[in-house]
Amino acid sequence: MGFAGGGLVEPRGVLARPLYRDDKDGTQALRLKRLVNTDLSGDDRPRLLGRLERAVLVTGGRWAALLIGDPGGADILVTDAVPATIHRQLGELRLRQSAPFSALIFPIHLIRAAASQGYAIQGAAIGAPGNEQGYLIVGFPAHAKVEDRRGALVQLVADELANYIETRDLTGQIERIRRHLSLIHRLGQQVTAIHDRDELFAEITRLIHQSLGYEHIQLLLVEPDTRSVVLAHASGSFAELLLGAGFREPTGFGIIGRVAETGQPWISPDVTTDTHFVSHPLLPHTASELALPLRLGQRVIGVLDIQSDRRDAFRRDDVILLQTIADQIAPAIEQHRLFAAERRERELANTLADVSRIISSILEPDHVLEAVLQELGRVVPHLGSRVTLLGDDGLMRVVAAKGYPDNERVKQVVFRREAAPLSTPVLYRHETIILSDVRDEPQWVWQPGTEQVCSWCSAPLVIGMECIGWLCVDWPEPDFYTPEHGRIVRAFADQAVVAIENARLFAREKEFNDVLEQKVGERTSQLRDAHDEIARKADELQALWQRVVDVQEDERRRIAYDLHDSVAQSILASTYELQAVRRRNQNEALDARLIQCQRMLDDTLHEMKQIIYALRPTILDELGLIPALENYLASLPTQSGLVATLHVEGEAFGLLADIDLAIYRIVQEACQNAVRHADARTIELRLAFQKERLRVSVRDDGRGFVLDQARHGLGLIGIRERARSLGGLLTLNSEIGRGTEITLDLPKKGARPCPSE
């Protein structure tokens, strides 16, 4: 800093307007604008005042003043001996905003004011040129002898003050870095340990608010479908009110929306001069704002927004810390999203597997419908659910209902298709329908007992190319069901229709059996006619059985393909996305968590493949019967020492696809019985290809059973019916303690010609 000898230059530019307040001792003091790097709080002010007192003693002056901060707005410290007039003149000292302290020129009125009080002033810049931290002013008695060393002493004291301020700043920086590292460490622990989404968001905002002290912290997530940013959680004085009111902003609008759209951080030191700032009525005191993107690669999944009641509130190192935090929590948020999606898909797959077991069971129709509606509640939230079927008379009937005040009243509903216009797109176009509010739907028809319905979702029950009715769920609030709900209801309906058709066929089979028994009792004298009738009914039952088997295999094939093309692919895509996140991740603790997540996805994918293979062994279609049987025997559990072998005799010839499948299912059922019920240690499968026939035998060394007691077992019934549908001869031999042998003889009439023939 230098003086203009004799002349004064009035500074130009924007002037800083001082703000006055009363200190605790009642002295009128000046409080100019502070920079973030200068914070005279705590013990700093008394320590600096003590150094000013020592500066007076060292230099031989009477009083001293310290301007510290920025030339455009500084804090002022003075010793007790400074005259009030000079104190005020120092407070009104006008400084150039862009000029350093070294270019400070005292105005003439300040020099005259000091002279009128009997003082001459001497000053020196604090800090190196270009990096000045303030300015020291010392008042000497005007009558005192001017010494050459006076300027050197003032500069020496200024250098000592510069060293103290620099040491203080470095200590503060070290403390801030320590707090920052502590915050990052705690945040890293939390994001890997907390599995609940809302709890994670609350902890993130709480830690940032508690550690950095900004007035308002909020975490927002991007919704790509609606092109908007939605508040997920907030911390601060108005957080509870803001969360209760909710917040949503279109991408591209305002500071938050702009960050969500561009993926670039945005700092607004003074929101009153920022054209992108949009004020919120619950945050009326916002003076500065910082918005940081939550990025995964080039994709923005959310925004971390910090608002302060002070202008220029964001330190550079705090901004770097907050961006580090944003980069750290983005993968955690995505991980929770993937976990939630994986859990939903796993639950759906498990439920579909349960429905598949229902399909394979022979149950009464009422039991099947009740089980279907019970399983539906596991994957789709609803208050009421119904199954409506088309009868042979052309009327629609509600055959099952659950969740209504009077379910029996709902099940009494019968109506014509024409009376319900919404039945047309379901029955004829096989569409899934979602109504946000049935009260606003002009085509809606209220049915007795369903007054609670508001939001409604319906999916068709399609078997082959024919729709036999629909499955619907409802909720008493509007705008509840989404397209994702519709997808799940449709997938479930595709499972339920097989169970319902199975039940209808079973009911018809039971009806036929009752008719047969009645005719045998009434016409014992007409044995021949009764025999013919029984034979005819047996053929019908065989046809029905074959149809049931065909429906089951078709649905198993379709379910396997659907699971492979949708759920398995989604899990595989999630695995790739997780691997991509791992490649970008630098946090070892988070990487371990990501590895665990990837293992869970791999295990889920492996289980899904096993389910798909159990539904439809693709190797049977691709490689044929013998490789498929070899693969199945290899998959049998070996924990108990089970040994399964396959022997092929003769020259193998190809069979029709349905015969291959029937043989595979017979072998599968026989082996399962040997493992589950017979405690067998060895299973021997033998295929004998002879000139006119194929003999298939399955022999085990299990405990055996009494044939008459096992005659009506579902497994043996299924084996017999499959053998009968192939026109083959089934032989079953078993003795207690000597194992069991099942032999199937098939004529060669179902053989496919070889390509060389």
Which amino acid, one-letter code, is at 128? Answer: A
**233 confidence band (pLDDT: 50, 70, 90):** confident
- CA-to-CA distance for 129 and 437, rounded, in angstroms? 73
| DSSP letters for 535-602 | HHHHHHHHHHHHHHHHHHHHHHHHHHHHIIIIIIHHHHHHHHHHHHHHHH---HHHHHHHHHHHHHHH
Q: pLDDT grade, residue 460 (50/70/90)?
A: very high
Structure tokens belonging to residue 361: 């069971």
21-30, 33-42, 417-426, 447-456 — which is least confidently predicted?
A: 21-30
With 60 as the cut, is the pLDDT of residue 4 above it?
no
Average pLDDT over residues 171-179: 66
Task: Decide if pLDDT at 541 tops 70.
Answer: no
What are the structure tokens assigned to 415, written together?
A: 């109506």
CA 534 – CA 536 distance, rounded (Å): 5
Give 336's contacts (C-beta < 8 A, 6+ positions apart).
195, 197, 200
- Tell me which residue has tokens 């929770």: 336
Is 24 in the same domain as 168?
Answer: yes
Which domain-ending residue is among 571, 586, 616?
A: 616
The pLDDT value recorded for residue 421 is 87
Provide the pLDDT confidence category of residue 457 given band limits of 50, 70 and 90. very high
**In the 8-state DSSP scheme, what is residue 164?**
H
Instruction: Return the percentage of the chain with pLDDT > 70, whole number.
Output: 76
Strands 682-689 and 643-649, by their bridges, are parallel
Specify whether 596 is located in the same domain as 672: no
As a whole number of angstroms, the distance between CA 25 and CA 47 comes to 18
> What are the pLDDT digits (tens) for 48-95?
888 888 888 888 888 888 887 654 455 778 888 888 877 777 766 644
- Kindly state whether residue 283 falls inside one of the protein's structural domains: yes
Using the predicted structure, report yes or no on whether residue 751 has a pLDDT greater than 80.
Answer: no
Q: How many domains does the chain have?
A: 5
pLDDT at 668 over 80: yes
State yes or no: pLDDT of 666 exceeds 70. Answer: yes
Verify that 469 and 399 share a domain, yes or no. Answer: yes
Residues 351, 251 share a domain: no
Domain co-membership, 23 together with 155: yes
Q: Is the pTM of this model over 0.85?
A: no
CATH of the domain at 746: 3.30.565.10
Q: How is residue 606 annotated by DSSP?
A: H
Please calculate the CA angle 243-196-568 and round it to the nearest 5 degrees. Answer: 120
Q: Decide which of 593, 616, 639 is a domain's last residue.
A: 616
Distance CA 55, CA 78 (A): 11
Residue 305 lies in a domain: yes
Cα separation, 150 vs 59, whole angstroms:
7
| Region 131-142 average pLDDT | 81
Domain assignment of residue 185, yes or no: no
Asked if residue 75 belongs to a domain, the reply is yes
| 394/458 same-domain check | yes
pLDDT tier at 404, thresholds 50, 70, 90: very high
C-beta neighbour count of 20 within 10 angstroms: 10
Instruction: Round the CA-based radius of gyration of the chain to a whole number and report it.
Output: 43
pLDDT over threshold 90, residue 475:
yes
- Specify if 422 maps to a domain: yes
Say yes or no to pLDDT of 24 above 60: no
On whether both 598 and 626 belong to a single domain, the answer is no
Same domain, 307 and 452: no
Residue type at 522?
E
Which of 367-376, 437-446, 602-611 ranks highest by mean pLDDT? 437-446
Per-residue confidence (pLDDT) for residue 716, from 0 to 100: 79
Considering the domain boundaries, does residue 156 fall inside one? Answer: yes
Between these two residues, 271 and 181, which has the higher pLDDT value? 271
- CA angle 252-584-189, nearest 5°? 90
Q: What is the CATH number of the domain that holds 57?
A: 3.30.450.40
* Structure confidence at residue 433 as a pLDDT band (50, 70, 90): very high
Range of the domain at 461: 364-498
* In a shared domain, residues 594 and 642: no
Residue 325, domain member (yes or no): no
Q: What is the mean pLDDT of the chain?
A: 77
Based on the fold, state whether residues 610 and 623 are members of the same structural domain. Answer: no
Find the range with the poorest average confidence among 237-241, 436-440, 504-508.
504-508
Based on the domain organization, do 208 and 301 belong to the same domain? Answer: yes
Rounded distance between C-alpha atoms, residue 671 and residue 664, angstroms: 11
Say whether both 356 and 422 belong to one domain. no
Domain end position, chosen among 553, 587, 616: 616
- Give the three-class secondary structure for 360: helix
Is 215 part of a structural domain of the chain? yes
User: Does residue 204 or residue 288 have the better pLDDT?
Assistant: 288
